[in-house]
Amino acid sequence: MQLTGAEIVIECLKEQGVDTVFGYPGGAILNVYDELYKHSDEITHILTSHEQGAAHAADGYARATGKVGVCFATSGPGATNLVTGIATACMDSIPIVAITCNVGVSLLGRDSFQEIDIAGITMPITKHNFIVKDVKDLADTIRKAFVIARKGRPGPVLIDIPKDVTANKTEYQKVQIQEWEPSLEICESDIDAALKMIAEAKRPYIFVGGGAVLSGASSELYEFVKKVDAPVTDSLMGKGAFPGTDPLYTGMLGMHGTKTSNYGVSECDLLVVVGARFSDRVTGNAKKFAKNAKILQIDIDAAEMNKNVLITEGVVGDIRVVLRALNERLEQQDHHEWIEKIMEYKNRYPLTYHPEILTGPYIVEEIYRQTKGDALIVTEVGQHQMWAAQYYQYTKPRTFLTSGGLGTMGYGLGASLGAKVGCPQKTVINIAGDGCFRMNMNEIATAVRHQIPIIQVVVNNHVLGMVRQWQNLFYEKRYSATVLNDAVDFVKLAEAMGAVGIRVTTKEEFAERFAEALTLGKPVVLDCQIDCDDKVWPMVAPGAAISEAFDEGDMQK
């Protein structure tokens, strides 16, 4: 049958099982939005307050559900406003498809009104991108984009469609999309080498990254850990792949990781790295990282092998497939003496905070207590992000959504909207600092408009907390441009946008009012006033080895 390009866009989204699109309309994409209107009973459109919010919402939807997130934007500034969200997804390997529309084909390259080479701009931050200049290529391009976004190491794909292509007609034939399955290919000699390294290890440690979450390998990982009989640490992106309540779990690794994990990895003789990329925030001084250990890396992306840290052996393949292969042949190991030493570290170096006053750690622990660890936690970037990683115990994958690679302030609110739309049965809480909340707080209006009942917790210290912490420790307390000493009232702002606004200043108030927020079924903003000099502990200084982690007690010695 003959369809316009706009009709083909919608039909192809339906083929892919897309039920939600996040976006913002404009002239160039108007044909697509007109067609979307006719299919509003099949595809829900969430109109965000800003295109960046749409990209983050698509990202949050993808992280929470495991599906491909989709966002729309028009040409020019509409398209460029997606860039930060696309880059965020790219750094964290999140599958989204961003569809933009541009000026007509005959107007391309002429500096036409709201023309921008969005394909060129996003080339370094997408897995692939397309500009479709012939309507005959449109359906196949959209199908290809979804395959690319999901296949192998996931990531964002952009499709740019000139406006006349959305109006032109061509023959369309519906295609039945097959369920995507990961590749089963693994090099057998690599599996043999991995098994040999594990069998010879006396002090193994397992480091879990985001790849274990993305591949859905939690059950295989759990079996692997128990067979290896090793302690487990993780990155920000790896949270929930292995349960944080398990005795073998020792907390996060790296700059704000636990002393137990940092010391243990520094002393182990085998580090098994499962779907992690050796970020500088994890390794500290890379030359001193795990210097006593052989390193076995398991990753779907061969480009990650020996990129940041030299490894001993590597297995390239889908994490779940690789772990299944290892589990089938791996004999039960026993490292009780090593485990006892690590457990001694856990007892000696617990995470601590000041219990008398309202603090970030208390807020996170109280959220954990009241939600019984079953909420979907989203964060912005900064001190609150680290506290959310340290003090909430994640037992399931896809329950901690955060910008790990790009570190995007303003990510969390949009992402929480996408997560709640994708998982309406879950309690979704975005934890933000006041600096981050300011960046995209206009998306509270989106939550109200679409009746998306997220809870926004603002850990408000009236400063850019993480930057101030660095200034305090390493810049002789020169607080350049980090003090937010203005009269912005988040409670009044929330109320002005139609949400419930609540201010708390004590632990008792937070416990009472957060419990209330859980019952309201409405968008809620909790403005939580804490001290401007609360810090994230432990910490590793820039350029130092992770074995040199220090905390508040060390500072007082």
> Does 197 qualify as catalytic in the annotation?
no
> Is the pLDDT assigned to residue 90 strictly greater than 80?
yes
Instruction: Point out which residues pair with 47 in neighbouring strands.
Output: 23
Q: How confident is the model at residue 249 (pLDDT cuts 50, 70, 90)?
A: very high
> Does 287 qualify as catalytic in the annotation?
no
Catalytic one among 14, 15, 114, 522?
A: 114
Superfamily of domain 188-348: TPP-binding domain (3.40.50.1220)
Mean pLDDT, to the nearest integer, of 68-91? 98
pLDDT per position as a tens digit, 97-130: 999 999 999 989 999 999 999 999 999 999 999 9
Catalytic one among 11, 35, 51, 380?
A: 51
> Is the pLDDT assigned to residue 180 strictly greater than 90?
no
> Does 297 qualify as catalytic in the annotation?
no
pLDDT per position as a tens digit, 414-426: 999 999 999 999 9
Say whether 360-538 and 188-348 share the same fold. yes
Q: Do 3 and 52 meet the contact criterion of CB atoms below 8 Å apart? A: no
What is the per-residue pLDDT for 181? Answer: 80
Mean pLDDT, to the nearest integer, of 173-179? 89
> Does 305 qualify as catalytic in the annotation?
no
Question: What's the mean pLDDT when you consider all of the chain?
Answer: 97
> Is the pLDDT assigned to residue 385 strictly greater than 90?
yes
Whole-number Cα distances in Å, 151 to 127, 146, 156: 10, 8, 11
pLDDT per position as a tens digit, 341-384: 999 999 999 999 999 999 999 999 999 999 999 999 999 999 99
Catalytic one among 16, 35, 115, 163?
A: 163
Catalytic one among 113, 202, 477, 555?
A: 113
- Does the bond joining 538 to the residue before it have cis omega, within 30 degrees of 0? yes
Query: Could you tell me what percent of the chain has a pLDDT over 90?
Result: 96
Q: How confident is the model at residue 555 (pLDDT cuts 50, 70, 90)?
A: confident
> Does 522 qualify as catalytic in the annotation?
no
Mean pLDDT, to the nearest integer, of 81-92? 98
- Domain positions in the chain are 2-171, 188-348, 360-538
Catalytic one among 197, 252, 439, 466?
A: 466
CATH number at 2-171:
3.40.50.970
Mean pLDDT, to the nearest integer, of 144-169? 97
CATH 3.40.50.300 fits 360-538, yes or no: no
What burial class does residue 189 get, using C-beta atoms within 10 Å of its C-beta: 0-12 exposed, 13-18 middle, 19+ buried? exposed
What is the per-residue pLDDT for 184? Answer: 83
Q: Could you tell me which residues come within 8 angstroms of residue 379 by beta carbon, excluding any fewer than 6 positions away?
A: 385, 388, 389, 400, 401, 402, 412, 430, 431, 432
What is the per-residue pLDDT for 185? Answer: 87
pLDDT per position as a tens digit, 183-225: 888 999 999 999 999 999 999 999 999 999 999 999 999 999 9
pLDDT per position as a tens digit, 261-276: 999 999 999 999 999 9
> Is the pLDDT assigned to residue 557 strictly greater than 80?
no
> Is the pLDDT assigned to residue 179 strictly greater than 90?
no
Q: Would strands 376-379 and 294-299 be described as parallel, antiparallel, or unpaired?
A: unpaired
What is the per-residue pLDDT for 5? Answer: 98
C-alpha gyration radius of the chain: 24
Mean pLDDT, to the nearest integer, of 519-537? 97
3-state secondary structure (DSSP) of residue 400:
strand
What is the per-residue pLDDT for 182? Answer: 82
Q: How confident is the model at residue 178 (pLDDT cuts 50, 70, 90)?
A: confident
3-state secondary structure (DSSP) of residue 87:
helix
**Which residue do the tokens 């879950």 mark?**
426
Query: Could you tell me what percent of the chain has a pLDDT over 70?
Result: 100
